[in-house]
């Protein structure tokens, strides 16, 4: 029977997918994979200096073989600047797609976003405190910064959680409102810290980074976010069925054998860990976590077994493309990538709000 | 499978809302829980599908205490249709029904033919066989309830727990859903407001009032004018249904309501 089977695994092709869509997840994933490779290549070619495709491949081949790039050549730009930056965009984008998907399931609201829960505001405060008070500009992307951002994310999570749970009850709406309120409070602190910092250079760096930037990409900064994204993907996909059950409500999930309380705690730890690590390397890049799951759901549906891998791939693609736009939009200057995502994302949010209001 | 609730006490935020409740459904029986709002029907059912933990007492399914089982094991015994009514997320009908297979699946496991058969059979039983690809959130209220019932059936449970499944449905969809329950009969605990529907569908009724069971028995034994006055505070005559012979409660909508005892 055609409607029976389909495995979640991306790449598993052919049988008819169960759902309202006609597009098969395997093809979607394959298409996104190819598009991502093309976008990564374009990202390395394009910029203040154009690099021909042939030079890109030869530089990547030499880089992969481990030979040192000759100084003064394009190899240096390609291998030391552009390639790590393109890869960081992909990793951060994938992570934002995953965090957004997880948070939306957690609060059972397709318009939620990690930023709404105040987790990224906490991460930003932790990171900015580390920049302004402690480490100088040189330590901008070190492990210390990640730890500070993670600590900030966890602390804000704990605060939001406590406020939302007061009185014993728990509702997704209460959680989101607590997140917004506490997020604003923490952002106020962050701005205060930045303005207090005397060093203009440092202030400028902190501001740029607060708007969300991939400018600090180096090979050495890639490992931690990559590991965090892969770990989060594995943890979330392992819980995909439980996430599906959560969409129907706590009672339904409990009746399906899901330990709802434990799943919630796990999701909070995973989302704050991933948010902390991502904010530490790229600052607060907004709206990707909102747009990506929404767009993917329209194509492959709401089943997390398919949604999570596709959201990671699409998030990666989106942020690589947005980064190219941020670097090439102005002739003499680079835009923070978060500025571009906000310019695309905010109207998208308004459109989604409008559509939802019409539907209900 | 024979299901018994024994001496159940439940406290919420330190307040006892259910105490000493004994409720029983024999194998294949539909046992109804009736009572005024706030009488504890939903609370009792929530302990059966493990959303709430009893303060004292136990729930036995086939003689085994469900609290001695893991959450997954008990989800293979007991399936529920809580009062939650769905989702804004883009789930298809088939995906919603396939959630019923959750307690049978390991992490990362794909769907196997057993799952596919269970989902197809469940959709067929509720008369939604052709609707698998439709969007759940776009269904009518009656269709949604049938799909959610199919999700519970796909769980292949020994016991079904249904909390007000006909709420907010029009008469036709109420009749349709309850007829489904009778047709695909299995041990069922059913909380229901409509006393006439309860009298027709249930083999046994338990009347809850102020968190206690005040009457148990067949609908004919339980639904008397005296009980309706005492528990529900209404004046009514109990007659025979002209078509089915079931007890039919004719409420007197002109009489003033009586004060009720308890709570």
Read out DSSP for A242-280?
A: HHHHHHH-HHHHHHTT--HHHHHHHHHHHHHHHHHHHHH
* pLDDT band with cut points at 50, 70 and 90 for residue A54: confident
Percentage of residues of chain B with pLDDT beyond 90:
76
Q: How far is B168 from chain A (nearest CA, A)?
A: 17
d(CA A353, CA A35): 29
Tokens of B2: 């024979």
Does A353 fall in a domain? yes
Planar angle of CA A197, A198, A200, nearest 5 degrees: 100
For the ranges A37-41, A134-138, A166-170, which has the lowest average pLDDT? A134-138
Q: Which chain A residue's Cα is nearest to B71?
A: A257
For the ranges A247-256, A279-288, B118-127, B187-196, which has the lowest average pLDDT? A279-288
Sheet holding B204-209, edge to edge: B78-81, B159-163, B188-191, B30-34, B204-209, B212-217
B residues 179..208 contacting A (CB < 8 A): none
Percentage of residues of chain A with pLDDT beyond 70:
86
Closest CA to A173 of A128, A256, A221, A108: A108
Total tally of structural domains belonging to chain A: 1
User: What is the model's pLDDT at position A148?
Assistant: 87
* pLDDT band with cut points at 50, 70 and 90 for residue A14: very low
Planar angle of CA A184, A190, A194, nearest 5 degrees: 145
| pLDDT averaged over every residue in chain B | 91
Query: For residue A77, what is the domain's CATH number?
Result: 1.10.3470.10
Does B20 fall in a domain? yes
Does B193 fall in a domain? yes
User: Are A144 and A126 in contact, with CB atoms under 8 Å apart?
Assistant: no
Total tally of structural domains belonging to chain B: 1
Which chain B residues contact residue A247 at CB under 8 A? 87, 89, 91
Within its chain, how far is the Cα of B142 from the centroid? 16
DSSP A186-239: HHHHHHHHHHH---HHHHHHHHHHHT---TT--GGGTHHHHHHHHHHHHHHHHT
Q: How far is B222 from chain A (nearest CA, A)?
A: 30
Residue B79 sits at the chain A interface (C-beta within 8 Å): yes
Residue A250 sits at the chain B interface (C-beta within 8 Å): yes
Does A20 fall in a domain? no
The 3-state DSSP class for residue A135 equals: coil
CB contact under 8 Å between B75 and A256, yes or no, is yes
Does B262 fall in a domain? no
Does A93 fall in a domain? yes
- How far are the Cα atoms of A79, A231, B172, B231, B262 from residue B195, in angstroms, in the given order? 76, 53, 16, 13, 20
Which chain A residues contact residue B71 at CB under 8 A? 254, 257-259
Q: Give the tens place of pLDDT for each residue, A159-185.
A: 987 888 776 555 666 777 888 899 999
ipTM: 0.92
Identify from B59, B66, B75, B90 which residue to disrupt to test chain A contact, counting A C-beta atoms within 10 A and taking the largest count: B90
Q: Give the tens place of pLDDT for each residue, A225-240.
A: 999 999 999 999 999 9
Q: How far is A303 from chain B (nearest CA, A)?
A: 7
CB contact under 8 Å between B113 and A4, yes or no, is yes
d(CA A85, CA B22): 66
What is the dihedral angle through the alpha carbons of A284, A289, A291, A297, rounded to the nearest 10 degrees?
170
Element (H, E) at B247: strand B247-251
Does A144 fall in a domain? yes
Does A5 fall in a domain? no
* pLDDT band with cut points at 50, 70 and 90 for residue A358: low
Backbone φ and ψ for B238, nearest 5 degrees, come out as -105, 120
- pLDDT over threshold 90, residue A71: no
Q: How far is A133 from chain B (nearest CA, A)?
A: 43
Closest partner residue to A255 (CB to CB) among B80, B105, B134 is B80
d(CA A43, CA A91): 14
Closest partner residue to A257 (CB to CB) among B103, B107, B108 is B103
Backbone φ and ψ for B160, nearest 5 degrees, come out as -105, 135
Domain that holds residue A141: 31-359
More confident residue, A50 or B203: B203
User: What is the model's pLDDT at position A144?
Assistant: 77
* pLDDT band with cut points at 50, 70 and 90 for residue B123: very high
A201 CB-contact burial (10 Å; exposed 0-12 / middle 13-18 / buried 19+): exposed
Element (H, E) at B41: helix B41-48
- pLDDT over threshold 60, residue A33: yes
User: What is the model's pLDDT at position A167?
Assistant: 61
* pTM listed for this prediction: 0.87
User: Are B219 and B194 in contact, with CB atoms under 8 Å apart?
Assistant: no
Half-sphere exposure of A44 (CA within 13 A, CB side): 27
User: What is the model's pLDDT at position A139?
Assistant: 47
**In this structure, what DSSP letter does residue A78 have?**
I
User: Are B21 and B57 in contact, with CB atoms under 8 Å apart?
Assistant: yes
Does B256 fall in a domain? no
User: What is the model's pLDDT at position A3?
Assistant: 38
Does B258 fall in a domain? no
Q: Which of A3-7, A22-26, A143-147, A184-188 has the highest mean pLDDT?
A: A184-188
For the ranges A12-16, A77-81, A103-107, A150-154, which has the lowest average pLDDT? A12-16
- What pairs with residue B92 in β-bridges? B135
Does B257 fall in a domain? no
Does B191 fall in a domain? yes
| pLDDT averaged over every residue in chain A | 83
d(CA B99, CA B119): 9
User: What is the model's pLDDT at position A15?
Assistant: 35
CB contact under 8 Å between A108 and B116, yes or no, is no
What is the pLDDT averaged over residues A3-29?
51
**In this structure, what DSSP letter does residue A287 have?**
S
Query: For residue B148, what is the domain's CATH number?
Result: 3.40.50.300
Which chain A residues contact residue B191 at CB under 8 A? none
Domain that holds residue B102: 3-251
Element (H, E) at A73: none
User: What is the model's pLDDT at position A21?
Assistant: 52
CB contact under 8 Å between B71 and A257, yes or no, is yes
Q: How many CB atoms lie within 10 A of CB B6?
A: 16
**DSSP E strands, A78-140:** none
């Amino acid at each position: 029977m055609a409607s029976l089977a389909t495995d979640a695994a991306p790449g598993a092709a052919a049988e008819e997918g169960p759902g309202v869509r006609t597009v098969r997840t395997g093809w979607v994933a394959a298409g996104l994979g190819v598009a991502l490779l093309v976008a990564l290549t374009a990202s390395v070619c394009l910029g203040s200096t154009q690099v021909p495709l042939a030079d890109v491949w030869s530089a990547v081949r030499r880089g992969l073989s481990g030979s040192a790039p000759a100084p003064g050549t394009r190899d240096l730009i390609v291998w030391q600047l552009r390639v790590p930056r393109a890869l960081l965009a992909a990793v951060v984008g994938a992570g934002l797609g995953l965090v957004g998907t997880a948070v939306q399931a957690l609060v059972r609201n397709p318009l939620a976003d990690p930023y709404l829960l105040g987790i990224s505001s906490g991460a930003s405060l932790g990171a900015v405190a580390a920049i302004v008070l402690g480490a100088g500009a040189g330590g901008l992307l070190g492990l210390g910064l990640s730890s500070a951002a993670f600590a900030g994310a966890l602390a804000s999570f704990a605060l939001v959680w406590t406020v939302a749970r007061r009185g014993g009850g728990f509702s997704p709406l209460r959680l989101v409102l607590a997140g917004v309120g506490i997020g604003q409070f923490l952002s106020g602190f962050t701005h205060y810290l930045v303005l207090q910092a005397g060093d203009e250079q440092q202030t400028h760096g902190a501001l740029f980074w607060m708007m969300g930037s991939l400018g600090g990409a180096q090979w050495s900064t890639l490992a931690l976010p990559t590991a965090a994204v892969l770990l989060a993907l594995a943890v979330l996909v392992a819980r995909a069925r439980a996430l599906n059950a959560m969409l129907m409500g706590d009672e339904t999930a409990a009746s399906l054998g899901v330990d709802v309380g434990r799943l919630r705690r796990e999701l909070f730890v995973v989302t704050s860990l991933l948010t902390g690590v991502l904010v530490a390397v790229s600052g607060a890049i907004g709206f990707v976590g909102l747009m990506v799951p929404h767009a993917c759901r329209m194509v492959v549906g709401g089943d997390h077994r398919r949604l999570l891998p596709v959201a990671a791939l699409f998030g990666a693609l989106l942020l690589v493309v947005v980064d190219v736009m941020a670097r090439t939009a102005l002739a003499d200057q680079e835009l923070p990538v978060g500025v571009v995502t906000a310019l695309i994302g905010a109207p998208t949010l308004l459109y989604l709000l409008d559509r939802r209001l019409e539907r209900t | 499978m024979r299901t018994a609730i024994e001496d159940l006490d439940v406290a919420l935020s330190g307040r006892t809302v259910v105490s000493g409740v004994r409720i029983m459904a024999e194998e294949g029986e539909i046992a109804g829980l009736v009572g005024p709002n706030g009488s504890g029907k939903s609370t009792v059912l929530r302990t059966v599908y493990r959303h709430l933990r009893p303060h004292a007492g136990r729930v036995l399914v086939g003689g085994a205490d469900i609290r001695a089982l893991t959450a997954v094991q008990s989800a293979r015994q007991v399936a529920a249709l809580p009062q939650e009514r769905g989702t804004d997320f883009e789930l298809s009908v088939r995906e919603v029904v396939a959630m019923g297979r959750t307690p049978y699946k390991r992490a990362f496991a794909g769907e196997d033919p057993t799952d596919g058969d269970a989902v197809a059979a469940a959709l067929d039983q509720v008369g939604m066989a052709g609707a698998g690809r439709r969007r759940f959130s776009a269904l009518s209220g009656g269709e949604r309830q049938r799909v959610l019932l199919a999700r519970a059936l796909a769980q292949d449970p020994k016991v079904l727990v249904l909390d007000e499944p006909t709420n907010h449905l029009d008469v036709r969809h109420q009749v349709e859903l309850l007829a489904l329950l009778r047709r695909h009969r299995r041990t069922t605990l059913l909380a229901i407001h409509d006393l006439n529907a309860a009298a027709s569908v249930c083999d046994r009724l338990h009347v809850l009032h102020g968190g206690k069971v005040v009457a148990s028995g067949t609908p004919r034994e339980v639904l008397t004018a005296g009980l309706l006055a005492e528990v529900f505070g209404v004046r009514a005559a109990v007659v025979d249904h002209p078509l089915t012979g079931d007890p039919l409660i004719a409420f007197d909508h002109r009489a003033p309501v009586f004060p009720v005892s308890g709570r």
